[in-house]
Structure 1
């Protein structure tokens, strides 16, 4: 029989990439961590990590076992919540969200949800998808409002077979221009028309995204500022520092004088959706997802 504690150790090793860092997180010695992993390998008859001077990486068997470890952790967390609900008589629901999507969709959805389930204790945690999606896998949150840019989902099937993605809306990115900009009257723009303009960005991920699209348009963008707040980035645009690339859901509240112009197809898009544990969503989770979808439909209809 596989020892659950050894699975927990392996999952922590995979998360931190070394025995030393995993030991610090688990408050164990590196030797104890190594012994636990070695014992797991003996019980499986297979190597789960490849050791090197640069740290450790998972083998294919290790990836399978980490997936199993996450499923076990999620099931135990789910069982603990059910027991807590039995003893208190109250359902608890924990929601993770990124800032701009949460600000747009969550308040009205939560109001609608609470009208149907007034005795539910709600908890909201803010974070980026790379931080919140693991929490869904581990059962620490019930669902995550998250996003990904063009390309695959924010989690791979090999790493997260248990996660289910419910799409909500496609969040097109706009070019935000300062007052008096030469292109402010256009209905849509090609990025190549902005090759000479400096940029300020409201998300650390957006720079790589912008550079990829700019490369297709034939120029190398000049980045004059990066922030972690879209409103701050638009304020810098208003101050004359440059132009910005902003998702449509982050264009409110308005900054006076600025123009937001769509990018001609195929333009960059941010895909917003909800991540849950597939096949085991509680009725309350499904109710909240329906409320979020209604809010997304209203936004799409604007």
Structure 2
């Protein structure tokens, strides 16, 4: 029989990459963590980690067992919630979201859900996708409003329970420039036209994304400012520090003195959607919230971004719906 505590320890080792860090997270000694892993390996008859001076990495068997550990954790959390609901008579629903997507899509969707299901107690937690998606797999949250750029969803470990991805909308990134900039009146821009410009970015992941697209366009961007807030990044652009690359839904509220110009294809895009597991998706309240979020994304809220006009006063191109998902 596989011990649940040993699975919990293995999951912590996988998350932290070392026995010492896993021990600190679990309030155990490193020796105790090592003993739990060794006992799990003896029971399975197979190594679950490869040990080295640089830490530990999962073997193929280890990845399978971490997936099992996440499934077990999710089932236990689901059972705990059901017991809590039996005692209180109230249905708990926890939503994880990234900031700009939550600001645009969640208020209307939650209002609709609360009106139709007043018995639901809603909880909202702010996380970036690399943090929220593991929480969905573990059962700590019921669903996550998340995004990914080109490529797979972040934080997907081999052997982990599959996430169900419901695509909501595409969120193209736009170039933001000072209003008097020589390129501010253009209808669209190639990134190569901005090769000589200094850059200010509102998200570290956007920097990595910009560098990939800039490499394709043949230049290495000079990044003079990075922040964790798109509004602050736009304020720095208005102050003359450089230009920026901002997702459409993060272009509100307006910052005076700026122009926004779409990027010509191949244009960088964020794909926004909802991540659930099949187990949680079966809950009526989760299905209702996903439906409400889709209505927000395809309605005025989704098509209202950005409110800030591009150069020459033309309306910004709205995001399209039904973007690709994983």
The normalised TM-score by structure 2 is 0.90
User: 2:128 aligned with 1:128, yes or no?
Assistant: yes
Q: Which residue of 1 aligns with 2:294?
A: 293
Structure 2 residues not aligned, in runs of 5+: 305-326
User: 2:206 aligned with 1:206, yes or no?
Assistant: yes
Give the 3-state SS of the residue equivalent to 2:172 in structure 1: strand
1:155 shift after superposition: 4.4
Give the 3-state SS of the residue equivalent to 2:214 in structure 1: helix
Give the 3-state SS of the residue equivalent to 2:273 in structure 1: strand
1:55 shift after superposition: 1.1
Which has the larger displacement, 22-31 or 231-240? 22-31
User: 2:33 aligned with 1:33, yes or no?
Assistant: yes
Q: Which residue of 1 aligns with 2:160?
A: 160
Q: Which residue of 2 aligns with 1:186?
A: 186
Given that 1:71 and 1:162 are in contact with CA atoms closer than 8 Å, whether structure 2 keeps it comes out as: no
Given that 2:147 and 2:273 are in contact with CA atoms closer than 8 Å, whether structure 1 keeps it comes out as: yes
The 2-side partners of 1:108 and 1:88 are apart by 27
1:157 shift after superposition: 6.9
Alignment of 1:247-266 (within 5 A): 247-266=247-266
Once the two structures are superposed, what CA deviation does each residue of 1:107-154 show, in whole Å capped at 9, x if it has no partner?
A: 011001100011211111001111111111111100111111112223
Give the 3-state SS of the residue equivalent to 2:31 in structure 1: helix
- RMSD over aligned Cα atoms: 1.2
1:208 shift after superposition: 1.2
Which has the larger displacement, 151-160 or 137-146? 151-160
The 2-side partners of 1:125 and 1:159 are apart by 26
Once the two structures are superposed, what CA deviation does each residue of 1:91-111 show, in whole Å capped at 9, x if it has no partner?
A: 000010000000000001100
1:301 shift after superposition: 4.2
Q: Which residue of 1 aligns with 2:309?
A: none
Give the 3-state SS of the residue equivalent to 1:39 in structure 2: helix
Give the 3-state SS of the residue equivalent to 1:169 in structure 2: strand
Once the two structures are superposed, what CA deviation does each residue of 1:47-68 show, in whole Å capped at 9, x if it has no partner?
A: 1011111111100000000000
Given that 2:13 and 2:22 are in contact with CA atoms closer than 8 Å, whether structure 1 keeps it comes out as: yes
Give the 3-state SS of the residue equivalent to 2:267 in structure 1: coil
Structure 1 residues not aligned, in runs of 5+: none
1:262 shift after superposition: 0.5
Give the 3-state SS of the residue equivalent to 2:81 in structure 1: helix
Given that 2:227 and 2:233 are in contact with CA atoms closer than 8 Å, whether structure 1 keeps it comes out as: yes
Give the 3-state SS of the residue equivalent to 1:167 in structure 2: strand
1:266 shift after superposition: 1.0
